[in-house]
Amino acid sequence: MGKTREIKGRMKAVANIKRITKTMQLIATARFQAAQRRATSAKPYTQKIAELVGELASAGGSVDHPLLKEPEPKVGRELLLVITANRGLCGGYNANILRTAVAHLRENTDKNIQLEVVGKKGVAYFKFVGTEMSKVHTQFGDKPAFQDVHALAEQYMQAFEAGEYDAVRVVYMSFETVARQKPVVIQLLPMEKPKVDEAAKKKGAVEYDFMPEPQKLLAELLPVTVKTRLFQAFNEAVVGEQVARMIAMKAATDAAGKMGKSLTRQFNRARQTAITTELTEIIGGTAALE
């Protein structure tokens, strides 16, 4: 009886865990769908801004802007922003991002890299390994607001134009499909010089008349491009986190279901053994009385 009672207790615990992980899976699925809508709705705007900047660069000849070139002379200092999650239970999401960030830091030990971190998991990790962080950002949640990203991008652009950094890079989880996300390191500043789509020009793409002149428009649009790229990185990071949590919770739910079935079989065997033992004892006692 003691064994069956123990197995029954384990069955109850596993059933409770299964209900919790199933609920977390449903919540992660709902959040993923919302985050994916935000990311996909912002992506066309980001791409169109990049196309327009390319058109302006083509119309304006040589492009010269402080956001497109490194400070001269170089200051020997860079900034690395690492975007992680505030919560765990999302598989290897945080571990993969942190592994990529640490690999980048190890490959550039000859540079003075100032580290800024988004997310409690990243902050806890770097504190544990004793890596100094210059700043921690706590204003971003599951729904990064454009106003917050706008303010952060403004800080980076002002610092870069003032010659405080040679480069600003971002480490985050890039979302490609539900089945594929990968941690990447992108260079936010200096921006790559706008590329002109020569193939589109040969096909007779629409030619635009710009007012005011292209150089003035570029001065307005290049900062917008930096802000939209950073905002897209935050959005994709949130999508990747929710996908990873959804997959992890589904795996946990499936594992709990299999364990529940296994414990049910063990319980049935143990109960049958106990019944057989009791019957044997009753029959033996009856035979002894005769």
Q: Is 264 within the bounds of a domain?
A: no
pLDDT higher than 70, residue 150: yes
* Domain contains 136: yes
Whole domain around residue 68: which residue ranges?
26-247
For residue 34, pLDDT beyond 90: no
Bridge partner residues of 47 (DSSP) = none
Q: Please indicate whether residue 119 or residue 287 has the higher confidence score (pLDDT).
A: 119
Average pLDDT over the chain reads 86
pLDDT at 199 over 70: no
Angle at 21 between CA 15 and CA 22, to 5 degrees: 85
Q: What is the CATH number of the domain that holds 31?
A: 3.40.1380.10
Higher pLDDT, 147 or 2: 147
Instruction: Between 24 and 1, name the one with better pLDDT.
Output: 24
Q: Is residue 285 a part of any domain in this protein?
A: no
127 within some domain? yes
Could you tell me if 7 and 264 are in contact, meaning their C-beta atoms sit under 8 angstroms apart? no
Enter the tokens of residue 232: 């897209």
Total number of domains in the chain = 1
> How many alpha carbons fall within 13 Å on the CB side of residue 31?
22
| Rounded alpha-carbon distances, angstroms, from residue 170 to 37, 101, 126, 184, 187 | 23, 9, 16, 8, 7
State the pLDDT confidence band at 207, using cuts at 50, 70 and 90.
Answer: low
Beta strands in the chain (DSSP E): 77-83, 112-118, 135-137, 167-177, 180-189
Is residue 10 situated within a structural domain? no
Is the peptide bond preceding residue 194 cis, with omega within 30 degrees of 0? Answer: no
Average pLDDT for 58-87: 82
Please indicate, yes or no, if residue 157 is contained in any of the structural domains: yes
